[in-house]
Amino acid sequence: MPKRSFSGIQPTGNLHLGNYLGAIKQWVKLQDTVDGIYCIVDLHACTATHDPVVLRRSVSAVAAFYLAAGLDPAKSTIFVQSAVGAHSELAWILGCVARFGELARMTQFKEKGEGRESVSVGLFTYPVLMAADILLYDANVVPVGEDQKQHVELCRDVAERFNATFGDTFILPEPLILGTGGRIMGLDQPTKKMSKSAGSPNNYIALEDDPDTITRKIKTAVTDTGGQICYAPEEKPGISNLLTIYSLLTGETMSDLEARYTGKGYGFFKRELTEVVVENLRPLQTRYRALKKDPAAVGEILRQGAERAAGIAGKTLSRARKRFGMEPV
RNA sequence: AGGGCCGUAGCUCGAACUGGUAGAGCGGCGGACUCCAAAUCCGCGGGUUGGGGGUUCGAAUCCCUCCGGCCCUGCCA
């Protein structure tokens, strides 16, 4: 039986190159070796104040991008989180197993909540819902960026506690930390991760940006002192990030790129990188636009995905309910 | 549940006299410069003054109410 993998993206803000290289592209690569469950986690998107209409639009955008990027509904399960009620229900059960203290320690909660006037309870219990997402599918691996590792660990802790107290129920997942691609940095702030909700649009290359916009954004990308093109994330975070993007898109190694661009200057490199980004995104964008014109087809894929997901999740949930004392009545 | 303080641009606001045209700094955006950026210089936009109602010729300012935040006290478990 192939390993099962669960991962998801929140339908908030603009999908960008970091999401593609760091997540979706890696999932596509894993597609033939794992049973992939790929979710559009709209329940998580509600932890911050949101507009229902915008949320629905973002859900379709993420779905279209999953497909445009090459996730194949014949190989992977693609669905919207809120379409499978088991997520919410298991989250409640796990919320009674998780401890206040462990959630209060989550760095993402502390960072996101900091300075905010009000914070929803959902933002606090977010990791519990994420644990439910993962455990419902008996996922063995969870491909995530470095920043999500802590949440997967919490998921394991909660699952272990549940298993120890109520009997073996859940499979403990392993985080699969994605390599260099797991962390594409912001173009204007190369020491911080590229973000959908960054202050300036110059932080990211949106997957919908046209060639002119991409050109402008790469041109304004922050670089480092000195003119040599070499990969050194500590000393030269700016150019290293651009090299990472280049390497992930073309498959060339860092040393190949360093050799090729010796003595070439940042400006020259940026122009070539722009070409690479534009050309790599082009087919994806074409497919994306086509999918957007056919919402019925996307909807049908999501419906079938939700059906399969609900089948798997339902079994796990009923196992958990029994152990937890909820059925039979 | 009762009481106190508070809410102005993306952020910080001990800006806005006594009720009289809503401001600054930072950030952001654009340009110059630069191999490209950064720094620097030049320029630019940005607001339902938390929402709604009232008083007034006129409300950020006064009154009522709701929302949200911080604090004190009480009540229940």
- Predicted confidence at residue A182, as pLDDT, reads 54
Q: Is pLDDT at A211 greater than 70 in this prediction?
A: yes
- Predicted confidence at residue A284, as pLDDT, reads 96
pLDDT higher for A320 or A198? A320
Q: Is pLDDT at A180 greater than 60 in this prediction?
A: no
CA A79 – C1' B15 distance (Å)?
A: 52
Question: Strand B: which nucleotides have any atom within 7 A of a protein Cβ?
Answer: 10-12, 27-30, 35-38, 68-69
CA A99 – C1' B13 distance (Å)?
A: 39
Question: Is residue A133 classed exposed, middle or buried when 0-12, 13-18 and 19+ CB atoms within 10 A define those classes?
Answer: buried
Q: Which residues pair with A303 in a beta bridge?
A: none
**Residue A292 falls in the annotated catalytic set:** no
Per cent of chain A over pLDDT 70 is 96
Measured CA to CA, the distance from residue A155 to residue A277 in angstroms comes to 36
Helix (H, G, I), strand (E, B) or coil at A49: coil
Span A226-240, average pLDDT: 89
Span A180-192, average pLDDT: 81
For residue A219 the two structure tokens come to: 């041109």
pLDDT digits (tens, 9 = 90+) for A89-145: 999 999 999 998 899 888 888 777 665 667 788 888 999 999 999 999 999 999 988
pTM: 0.88
Question: Where do we find the tokens 């093109």?
Answer: A229
- Give the range with max mean pLDDT: A49-58, A181-190, A250-259: A250-259
Question: Given the DSSP bridges, would you call strands A141-144 and A34-40 parallel, antiparallel or unpaired?
Answer: unpaired
**Residue A193 falls in the annotated catalytic set:** yes
Least confident of A2-16, A77-91, A288-302: A2-16
pLDDT digits (tens, 9 = 90+) for A152-176: 999 999 999 999 999 999 999 999 8
Measured CA to CA, the distance from residue A83 to residue A292 in angstroms comes to 20
- Predicted confidence at residue A49, as pLDDT, reads 75
CA A224 – C1' B13 distance (Å)?
A: 34
Measured CA to CA, the distance from residue A25 to residue A28 in angstroms comes to 5
Measured CA to CA, the distance from residue A199 to residue A195 in angstroms comes to 9
> Is the four-CA dihedral A178, A277, A273, A31 of positive or negative sign?
positive
Span A313-322, average pLDDT: 97
User: Per this entry, what is the length of chain A?
Assistant: 329
pLDDT higher for A52 or A277? A277
Q: Nearest to residue A38, comparing CAs of A66, A70, A68?
A: A66
Cβ neighbours of residue A234 under 8 Å, at least 6 residues apart? Answer: none
- Predicted confidence at residue A2, as pLDDT, reads 77
Q: What share of chain A is helix, strand, coil (3-state, %, to 5)?
A: 60, 10, 30
- Predicted confidence at residue A113, as pLDDT, reads 67
Instruction: Work out the pLDDT band at A327, boundaries 50, 70, 90.
Output: confident
Q: Which residues interact with strand B by a CB < 7 Å criterion?
A: A 115, 117-118, 188, 199-202, 216, 219-227, 238, 265-268, 270
Span A280-298, average pLDDT: 96
The b-or-e profile of A11-22 (16+ CB within 10 A means b, else e) is bbbbbbbbbbbb
Q: Is pLDDT at A272 greater than 90 in this prediction?
A: yes
Q: Is pLDDT at A11 greater than 70 in this prediction?
A: yes
pLDDT digits (tens, 9 = 90+) for A49-91: 777 888 888 999 999 999 999 999 999 999 999 999 999 999 9
Instruction: Work out the pLDDT band at A183, boundaries 50, 70, 90.
Output: confident
Q: Nearest to residue A222, comparing CAs of A236, A232, A205, A206?
A: A236
